[in-house]
Copies of this chain bind each other. A is one copy, B any other.
Amino acid sequence: MTSERGSFPPPVDVRGRGFPSRAALGDVQRWIDARAALPVPESVPVAQAAGRVLTAALAAPGDWPPADRAVRDGVAVASADTLGAGSYNPVPLLNAVPVSAGAPLPPGTDAVLPVEAVQMDAGFTEALGSVAPGEGVERRGDSLRASAVLWEAGRVLRPQDLGLLAALGVDTVAVAAQPRVRILLVGGPRSGPEVLGAMLAALVARDGGVAELVGPLPAESLLTDRGALAAACAAPGADLLLLAGRSGVGDDDLAPLALADAGTLVAHGVAMRPGDSAGVGLAMGVPALLLPGEPMACLAAYELLAGRAVRRSAGRDPGLPHRRVEARTARKLVSEIGCADLYRVRFTADGAVEPVASPALPGLAGAVRADGFVLIPAESEGFPAGSSVTVQCFDGTTTSSTRNS
């Protein structure tokens, strides 16, 4: 099915031979962007909507504040009644109502005196200061007019957004349903799929999806029968498939063939390090990612490829979700022309970055020691020491310059 494959050449069986060529990272990312499921709106109660993403612009159902109201704790008065009042010239008040900040202004009042400027005794109230009309008061609609657009589609709802929605009387809100991401752990004793399961499920949750772990599917049986894996790919109920493991050039690297059995293997082999045995395809119309079983390669392929699909289907920006910091390179970062390189880096004491491990070195130990990564595009030979680069910071990373006190 050529149309599903776009401009990618038909993939070949690479087992025992190696990749004749690899697809450009940007081409694979564009294919993912075009094929990832669009966000599906669902209605959720406001109280459960923190961190969820709006699927459509949301307009205010009414003015805010809904009525003239106090902006401070004090006593609501008719300002004209306070004319000339002072601490040595108390003026009796006939209409004086204690109000809290945010409370509606009682009828017949147009200003709020601080309690310190009021003398209250049983049945008798005096102003010890004067106020102008509107002082201490916010008018109806001052902050927000009815039908004003509160947020555009794509807004990740914050705690205070929930408070405002509740104040406006909104009970439910239309947000993107969390995409269902089926993670097929393909492997066995060699690559340790339990290593990939916990990591991938946490990454999917970070990006707004719900992970369903399937497997491990024993690699041994795949050699004689890859039908079980193909069937798991084709089973309904998933918005995205991640096949973790068995994407390489070994005899038992049968994930690409199983994906082809279940639908279409679109591209296999991506010009990126780590993660160059990654691939993409479709199973029953559902986009599927081949992720390498080597854990660091799997992490890289998730971050640069699979996460993009999760975030897009979750209504988020498909770009990398990491906090970005511009930093100077303490040492050179060498990169091969024609291959995108993901360098794990850490911050030095003076805020520069240095590589923790070569893109060619497997293992998560480097990613665990790293504060983030620098992505060097395929067309670049890398950066000499002293260059300015963009660091994508891993979750929870605090650089010395951003530590809070």
Contact = CB atoms under 8 A, between A and B. Distances in A.
Interface in A74-89: 74
Interface string A303-320: 000000000000001011
A30 interface: no
Nearest to A16: B120
Contacts of A250: 73, 98-100
Contacts of A116: 17-18
Contact of A163 (B114, B161, B190, B195): B195
A238 interface: no
A364 interface: yes
Number of copies: 2
A198 B167 CA distance: 11
Contacts of A367: 160, 164
Nearest to A358: B71
Interface in A214-266: 248-251, 253
Contacts of A46: 198
Interface in A261-315: 274, 277, 292-295, 297-299
A360 B394 contact: no
A250 to B, nearest CB: 5
Contacts of A317: 398, 403-404
A293 B100 CA distance: 9
Contacts of A190: 100, 103
Interface bin, chain A: 35 or more
B163 A324 contact: no
A199 B294 contact: no
B163 A198 contact: yes
Interface stretch (A175-183, A200-208, A335-343): A200-208
Contacts of A294: 100-102
Interface in A1-19: 16-18
A378 interface: no
B167 A295 contact: yes
Contact of A164 (B165, B167, B364): B364
Interface in A365-405: 365-368, 394-396, 398, 402-405
A50 B194 CA distance: 15
A356 to B, nearest CB: 10
A291 to B, nearest CB: 12
A156 interface: yes
A53 B315 CA distance: 29
A171 B126 CA distance: 71
A127 interface: no
A203 B181 CA distance: 27
Given A100-B293, A197-B47, A364 B319 contact: no
The 5 A-B pairs with the shortest beta carbon distances in the complex, nearest first, are: A319-B404, A143-B365, A50-B202, A163-B199, A156-B396
Interface of A: 16-18, 46-47, 49-51, 64-65, 69-74, 98-103, 114-116, 120, 138, 143-144, 150-151, 155-156, 158-167, 190-192, 194-203, 205-206, 248-251, 253, 274, 277, 292-295, 297-299, 317, 319-324, 357, 360-368, 394-396, 398, 402-405
